[in-house]
């Protein structure tokens, strides 16, 4: 057998069959995620207030994903693109709400482990930093909103 090259001490012929499926999977997931990001961007462009059916659909999706501690009041904070990197004042301005109530809701999300509120140099107020659970919740929120917008149940539509 003729060896083309070595990577470390492993001949190329031995690792190449493993590389092709990994590369194909990477490209598939990247394409799928790009389509999802475009769909979420269309949600943002719509910019309409959420109706009661949409809110109920998202809350039901949260409950089925074991985020039962959340209320419909948290949804405006988690609407795409989410609160990451923003202050309570900036979020309040974005969702047209009272900064004190937004601060209270952010503190509730912090107590539940979805985010951390941190003071940062050069910025007014504490900034939101999503935790892993917070990113998971944001992803679940986006999926529920996309599913509801498409008229499917949140778990039935693949993204």
Q: Do residues 57 and 157 lie in contact, with contact meaning Cβ atoms separated by under 8 Å?
A: no
Q: Do residues 40 and 80 lie in contact, with contact meaning Cβ atoms separated by under 8 Å?
A: yes
pLDDT tens per residue across span 115-124:
999 887 666 7
Q: Do residues 131 and 113 lie in contact, with contact meaning Cβ atoms separated by under 8 Å?
A: yes
pLDDT of residue 101: 94
pLDDT tens per residue across span 10-55:
666 666 677 778 888 888 888 888 887 787 777 755 455 678 888 8
CATH of domain 50-150: 1.10.10.10
């Amino acid at each position: 057998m003729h060896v083309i090259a070595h990577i470390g001490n492993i001949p190329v012929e031995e690792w190449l069959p493993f590389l092709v499926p990994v590369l194909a999977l990477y490209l598939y997931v990247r394409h799928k995620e790009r389509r999802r990001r475009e769909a979420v961007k269309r949600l943002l462009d719509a910019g309409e207030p959420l109706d009661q059916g949409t809110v109920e659909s998202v809350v039901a999706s949260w409950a089925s994903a074991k985020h039962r501690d959340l209320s419909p009041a948290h949804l405006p904070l988690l609407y795409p693109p989410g609160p990451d990197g923003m202050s309570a004042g900036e979020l309040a301005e974005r969702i047209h709400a009272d900064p004190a109530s937004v601060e209270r809701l952010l503190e509730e999300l912090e107590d539940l482990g979805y985010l951390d509120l941190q003071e940062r140099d050069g910025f007014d107020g504490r900034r939101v930093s999503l935790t892993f659970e917070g990113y998971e919740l944001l992803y679940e929120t986006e999926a529920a909103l996309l599913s509801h917008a498409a008229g499917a149940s949140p778990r039935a539509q693949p993204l």
